[in-house]
Chain A
Amino acid sequence: MFENLLSSINFVSACFALLFVLIVVLFLNWHFLKKIKKLEIAKDNLRYALEDAIRRCYRAEKEKNNALSLLKNFNDGLIIINKKNEISFINDSAEKLLDIEKEIILNKPLSKLKHIQNINPMIDLMQSALKGIYKKETEAKKGPILEMSVSPIKHSGNIDGNLITLRDITKEKISQKRKSELISLLAHQLRIPTSTVKWSLSMMSAGDFGKISKEQKGIIKKIMQRNEEMVSLIDGLLEISRNSDGEYLFNPVPTDIASVVQSLINFYQEEIKNKKIRLEFQKPTIKLPEIVLDKEKIKLAIQNVIDNAIKYTPEGGEIKILLFLRDGKMQLEVKDSGIGIPEDQKEKIFTKFFRADNARLKEKNGSGLGLFFVKNIIEQNHGKIWFSSPAGSALGGESVQNKGSAFYITLPLE
């Protein structure tokens, strides 16, 4: 009986044990199945991610190839200069325009390419640290005339190198040359009658062809004045055509504005002395930074402003020129004790062919183009120009209050 009971207990125990094992097995199976499922999901996710990455890679590669193909087949010549000042890319057009094979120049420092005649004139600008886009005209040896544009390649605020664009402007230059020749010839033909009138009347007025009456002399003087207006007009028209010829070509060079102003003051020294004008040039004692801009044109603009100040300031008057730095810009001020600008004509002062009434009375000759050009040039160089008239307290002294004009020019340092 006891044995039977024991055997029953053993059987039940065995059953429980078996059941426990079965439960454990089932649990483990369920657990592993769950894990496997998770792994499968993870595997699928991984596969999707991989496929996506491959797709993206492919797309990026395709985009890169498209971009490269675009750059390669771009009609203008393109060259990329990297941070190490090496040519890291050159497209087919640039190779052709410069008549050079890429294998010779790729990944080599620009300093070692100076012996290549078609590259040499461009090297300095190619490796310049620039903040904006600059253009320069250059001519490949026995090749086309090129317009070279250099723009910095910016990445996350840093400059990674320069992109050089080369454009064949030979045809434009030829047509520009023809236009220039035509204008030159036209100007020549227009000047013939004016010079004939000027020469003969000035000699007649001096009595070289016999004595003339006071009345005749007065009439001759008036004709000569009108003739001078025509001479100025022809000169002005020539200046317009010259300016429009070259307006898309910008020739930037590091420029010391203080020395430009000083050279202009020296140039006008005799006139200043003759008119007994007190001219003062104030600039900081420290050397001002050079600015990269079109020096020749800026010089013309500043000359025009100084020329006006001298022209419209009476004998014994005063001119003050100030040059200083303010808010990251260079500021030039030309203040005079001259005739000033009438209130009702201030708006027109920078317009083409405009001359203020009082300016016309003071100085008969003038085309009315000077300040129009000045504004154009200053703005081409990213600067600003404005004026105040009367110059007010600009010149300080009581005697010049409510008189004169002050012209202000600012030019960005970068």
Chain B
Amino acid sequence: MAKNILIVEDDEFLRGLLAKQLGSQGFTISEAINGREGEEKIKDLKPDLVLLDLLLPDVDGFEFLAKVKQDPAISSIPVIILSNLGQKEDIDKGLKLGATDFLIKAQFTPEEIVDKVKKAFK
């Protein structure tokens, strides 16, 4: 069965590129355009993995991640942060909150991101 990936990303263009790339590799894609929608969708859909941007309208990525990791119903869902933030403090904070990985968007191509997603399922 195809794995379901929830992309929480406010940039429509980047979200679209990522969805296309992941879709072409056989993943089922759900999209959320802000943190609040992300919170609703992760509870409703219980995806197999979340790709999470950090600077989001409403609820930001760190807040979203903290809530996910505190909720036993969804805390085991792996979350990969995919952001253009990337200072050591941001990375430390994200990993401390329970992110599986922290990828800086500008340093990875969509193909490499898909590889990271596949690796997370292994």
Contacts and interface: CB of A to CB of B under 8 A. Distances in A.
Interface of A: 180, 183-184, 187-189, 191-192, 194-196, 198-200, 202-203, 206, 208, 231, 234-235, 238, 242
Interface of B: 11, 13-14, 17-18, 20-21, 24, 55, 83-90, 104-107, 109-111
A192 B83 CA distance: 9
A191 B104 contact: yes
Contact of A242 (B14, B20, B21, B87): B87
A180 B90 CA distance: 11
B14 A195 contact: yes
B110 A191 contact: no
Contacts of A238: 86-87
Contact of B110 (A184, A202, A235): A202
A187 B90 CA distance: 12
A187 B87 contact: yes
B9 to A, nearest CB: 11
B88 to A, nearest CB: 7
A188 B85 contact: yes
Given A195-B105, A196-B13, A203-B20, A187 B110 contact: no
Nearest to A202: B109
Tell me the interface secondary structure of chain A in the complex: helix
Nearest to B18: A199
B87 A195 contact: no
Contact of A183 (B17, B84, B87): B87
Contacts of A199: 14, 17-18, 105, 109-110
Contact of A194 (B21, B85, B90, B106): B106
A192 B20 CA distance: 19
B107 to A, nearest CB: 7
Given A196-B13, A200-B17, A191 B109 contact: no
Contact of B109 (A180, A184, A198, A242): A198
Nearest to B86: A187
- Ranked nearest first, the 3 interchain pairs of A and B with the lowest CB-CB distance are A191-B84, A195-B105, A202-B109
A386 to B, nearest CB: 30
A234 B106 contact: yes
Given A202-B111, A242-B87, A208 B104 contact: no
Contacts of B21: 203, 208
A180 B20 CA distance: 35
A189 B83 CA distance: 11
A180 B89 CA distance: 9
A192 B11 contact: yes
Nearest to B20: A208
Contacts of A231: 106-107
B24 A195 contact: no
A180 B93 CA distance: 14
A281 to B, nearest CB: 28
A223 B109 CA distance: 14
Nearest to B87: A184
29 contacts: A180-B87, A180-B89, A183-B87, A184-B87, A187-B85, A187-B86, A189-B84, A191-B106, A192-B84, A194-B106, A195-B14, A196-B13, A196-B14, A199-B18, A199-B105, A202-B109, A202-B111, A203-B17, A203-B20, A203-B111, A208-B20, A208-B21, A208-B24, A231-B106, A231-B107, A234-B106, A238-B86, A242-B87, A242-B88
Contacts of A196: 11, 13-14
Contacts of A208: 20-21, 24
Nearest to B21: A203
B55, B106, B109: most-surrounded residue (chain A CB, <10 A): B106
Contacts of B85: 184, 187-188
B7 to A, nearest CB: 13
Contacts of B89: 180, 184
Contacts of A189: 84
Contacts of B14: 195-196, 199
A202 B110 CA distance: 8
Given A203-B20, A208-B24, A231-B106, A187 B84 contact: yes
